Amino acid sequence: MRSFCSFIRTASTKQNSLPRQTIRSFTASTQNNRFQVPQFKSPPPAMTTTTLKGQPFDRPVLDSMLRRRMFYTPSFEIYGGVAGLYDYGPPGCALQSNVIEIWRKHFVLEEDMLEVDCTALTPEEVLKTSGHVDKFADWMCKDPKNGEILRADHFVEAVLEARLKGDKDARGIKVEEKEEDPKKKKKKVKNTEAVKLEDAVVKEYEEILARIDNYDGEALGKLIKDHDLKNPVTGVQPSPPVAFNLMFQTAIGPSSNAPGYLRPETAQGQFLNFAKLLEFNQQQMPFASASIGKSFRNEISPRAGLLRVREFLMAEIEHYVDPEGGKKHARFNDIKDVKVRLLNRHVQLAGQTTIEEMTIGKAVSNGTVDNETLGYFLARIQQFLFKIGVDPSKTRFRQHMANEMAHYAADCWDAELQTSYGWIECVGCADRSAYDLTVHAKKTGAPLMVRERLETPITIEEWQIDLDKKKFGPHFKKDGKTVEAAVEALPQDKREALAQDLQLDGKIKIEVDGVGNGTVEISKELIQIGRKTKTVNTREFTPNVIEPSFGIGRILYALIEHNYWTRGNEGGDEARGVLSFPPPVAPTKVLLVPLSSHESFKPIVNRMSRKLRSIGVSTKTDDSSASIGKRYSRNDELGTPLGITVDFQSVKDGSFTLRDRDSTKQVRADEEKILKAIKELAEGSKVWADIEKELPAFEGQEAEIPVLTKKD
């Protein structure tokens, strides 16, 4: 996906005026839809956004809290660190694990998917066939004077925007300084010269900027040349854009003669196992495979924390569907009334960001979304995101424009989440047609197709190919299997044309990748092509693939921003951060807080901790000397949703107070009821409001330590 891949939302009261700012990278693998994160040297100012409670959002404060509480930390930090590599600490690991667990239940379990775990080390031949070796790239250009590497599309944007600003200055129009887009390191043009442009030129520049994501390398180079765009630092025009491949290359084995790569996505392993998975599924269609694992991309200059990294966790689904019949989905009626917020390609090409909300059923019926299966997964993706705690008002689906999509894709949408960095692609959902299975089958000769027995045999007339196997193999030697696979993969219209060539010239020529110069000549002594009638009992077809691809790191970061807020600093205390994760997602579910260090509390705390863990609820005990309020406050930063206070009443009658993180309200009940309530909250079957109705409220906490007698 720029299958990433990878991939932020804020309240949309002014959505129509928002600039189209996105960080993308989780969709189909072509060079035209690769986008880089900003390459700034110092942290950019945060966009206008708010916390969960509507407070002004301060990203540096949140970042400091996340690192201080060790959600994540730069890898190899004591050696100076490596950009784009991060280690997750205990709460980060737990948060990621909980999100993955919910993902597995939501997709793998509920959709009866077949999960596989494939190797990350991939032979070059596989990624050459898939197109990654040639096309997995960003467009870069170089300043010939100082050697500076420039991101081609960002360079064009910066210069044209500077010229438009100069035009407004010359016309006496006051221009508000736009906050820098932290996802794009565009060369800032200082001291812009006030030069009035022709109205037609202004319109042309504005149209170019509205479509900047739709230009490939050649088009960007033409823009640079036609409009004489120069680097403001050196005053010279950069070189034509070239593609920079983002995969990590390595060698397999000690001889180094078997080149390979670290996989940039998990999809290829699933495609290569298609025939085995189909057999495992007893030849039943449709079905889906799923995979969760690390992928790797050699980003030029990674920034923005977890949003652009060189090693990241992906969760990908490949849903195989019969292309005939409109790609229907058996459970589409279950989700047809789910409302989604859509930004379609036509709106984007008009230079706008107007989001339209409609049911997924309507989006499919009116053609906005290409087919039912694609629409089904868009709705299921949204349900998953909302389930883990993503803010619905900061969620949208953005459709890829023509030049962003792979040539084989029928449609592609990104689930984008809004954060202080802008709109970030966190999930890509593409209809990859039959491309991947087709190219791997053609390359290897493996039957990556479905054979479906027909209830009633049919008679068909088609162009059939007969090879003289005794001569064919010895003639092509080691390339025989590859050439034969290419021949068998020829479509009917191509076979008809080749039959005429064979009759006229006594030979045919076909394209075969990896053999000679890519073109193979076959004489009539080796091949015959004729029109024949046959009775068919089975139907053979190559499935189309709908691929939802999740960038877990990006989802985690957006989830953190969406659930972050600060509690007031009453009493002069410093305002404390709170992460209001839903209990099923929260890294630790329960904080155990003994009222004091009194010896009578220890066995009770230990017993409660054991019982909670035995029912699958993670706990942490804070028996420090800090006040109960401060101890709870510290764990609010970790997102711990529940707290149990062990006090002297607990010693006497076995009752406990249960505190809610967000409201700070408490209830009190006996051990059995408290454990039951915690389990229901942790599983997500109930919310705090349900518990408040069931258990009596607790208004005060015993502050003094009574003197316990031996009887007590």
Question: CB neighbours of 128 closer than 8 A, spacing ≥ 6?
Answer: 134
Question: CB neighbours of 516 closer than 8 A, spacing ≥ 6?
Answer: 479
Q: Which two structure tokens, joined as six digits, stand for 143?
A: 């300043």
Instruction: Kindly give the residue spans of alpha helices, DSSP state H, lying in 120-266.
Output: 124-130, 132-135, 152-170, 199-210, 217-226
- pLDDT of 435 over the 80 cut: yes
- pLDDT of 25 over the 50 cut: no
Q: CB–CB of 540/546 below 8 Å?
A: no
Distance CA 131, CA 647 (A): 64
pTM over 0.85: no
- pLDDT of 335 over the 90 cut: yes
Residue 427 sits in the same domain as residue 291? yes
**18 found inside a domain:** yes
Q: Which two structure tokens, joined as six digits, stand for 692?
A: 């408040």
Residue 392 sits in the same domain as residue 508? no
Residue 282 sits in the same domain as residue 235? no
pLDDT in tens, 66-81: 999 999 999 999 999 9
- Which CATH number is 149's domain given? 3.30.40.230
Distance CA 402, CA 412 (A): 10
Q: CB–CB of 645/656 below 8 Å?
A: yes
* Mean of pLDDT values over 26-47: 35
Instruction: Kindly give the residue spans of alpha helices, DSSP state H, lying in 228-322.
Output: 267-272, 274-280
**551 found inside a domain:** no
Q: Give the model's pLDDT for residue 265.
A: 93
- pLDDT of 188 over the 60 cut: no
- Of 517, 539, 561, the domain-final residue: 539
538: pLDDT confidence band, cut at 50, 70 and 90? Answer: confident
17: pLDDT confidence band, cut at 50, 70 and 90? Answer: very low
∠542-548-550 over CA atoms, to 5°? 145
* Mean of pLDDT values over 554-574: 83
**464 found inside a domain:** yes
- pLDDT of 28 over the 80 cut: no
If one counts the domains in the chain, the total is 4
DSSP state of 52: T
Q: Among 28-32, 173-177, 196-200, 240-244, where is mean pLDDT lowest?
A: 28-32
Q: Give the model's pLDDT for residue 407.
A: 66
pLDDT in tens, 355-364: 999 999 999 9
Q: Give the model's pLDDT for residue 555.
A: 98
Distance CA 309, CA 325 (A): 40
Residue 288 sits in the same domain as residue 426? yes
Distance CA 38, CA 185 (A): 5
Residue 228 sits in the same domain as residue 149? yes
Instruction: Kindly give the residue spans of alpha helices, DSSP state H, lying in 309-446.
Output: 332-335, 345-349, 360-365, 372-388, 435-444
More confident residue, 61 or 18: 61
- Which CATH number is 616's domain given? 3.40.50.800
Half-sphere exposure of 435 (CA within 13 A, CB side): 20
**679 found inside a domain:** yes
Pairing of strands 411-419, 356-359: unpaired
Q: Give the model's pLDDT for residue 138.
A: 76
Closest among 510, 465, 463 to 486, alpha carbons compared: 510
pLDDT in tens, 88-139: 999 999 999 999 999 999 999 999 999 999 999 999 999 999 989 887 877 8
- Which CATH number is 400's domain given? 3.30.930.10
Residue 533 sits in the same domain as residue 627? no
**670 found inside a domain:** yes
Residue 284 sits in the same domain as residue 431? yes
Distance CA 514, CA 533 (A): 34
Q: Give the model's pLDDT for residue 490.
A: 87
Closest among 557, 578, 585, 579 to 420, alpha carbons compared: 557
pLDDT in tens, 189-223: 555 678 888 888 888 888 888 777 778 889 999 99
563-566 long-range Cβ contacts below 8 angstroms, 24+ apart: 563/52, 563/389, 563/639, 564/51, 564/52, 564/57, 564/62, 565/51, 565/52, 565/53, 565/55, 566/51, 566/53, 566/55, 566/61
Q: Which of 348-362, 378-392, 441-455, 623-637 has the highest mean pLDDT?
A: 378-392
Q: Give the model's pLDDT for residue 32.
A: 34
Q: CB–CB of 288/108 below 8 Å?
A: no
**51 found inside a domain:** yes
- Of 539, 564, 585, the domain-final residue: 539
Q: Residue 211 is part of which domain span?
A: 137-245
Residue with token string 């029109």? 531
- Of 404, 437, 470, the domain-final residue: 437
**DSSP one-letter string for 554-601:** HHHHHHHHHTEEEE--GGGPPPEEEE---TTT-S--EEEEESSS-GGG
Residue 37 sits in the same domain as residue 155? no
Distance CA 401, CA 413 (A): 9
pLDDT in tens, 575-634: 799 999 999 999 999 999 999 989 999 999 999 999 999 999 999 999 999 999 899 999
Residue 311 sits in the same domain as residue 430? yes
**251 found inside a domain:** no
Distance CA 668, CA 378 (A): 42
- Which CATH number is 480's domain given? 3.30.720.200
Q: Give the model's pLDDT for residue 546.
A: 97
- pLDDT of 406 over the 80 cut: no
30: pLDDT confidence band, cut at 50, 70 and 90? Answer: very low
Residue 171 sits in the same domain as residue 94? no
Counting beta carbons within 10 angstroms of the beta carbon of residue 341, is it exposed (0 to 12), middle (13 to 18) or buried (19 or more)?
A: buried
402: pLDDT confidence band, cut at 50, 70 and 90? Answer: confident
258: pLDDT confidence band, cut at 50, 70 and 90? Answer: confident
**83 found inside a domain:** yes
Q: Among 18-32, 463-477, 688-702, where is mean pLDDT lowest?
A: 18-32
Q: Give the model's pLDDT for residue 157.
A: 86
Q: Which two structure tokens, joined as six digits, stand for 625?
A: 């000397």
Residue 528 sits in the same domain as residue 581? no
Residue 381 sits in the same domain as residue 269? yes
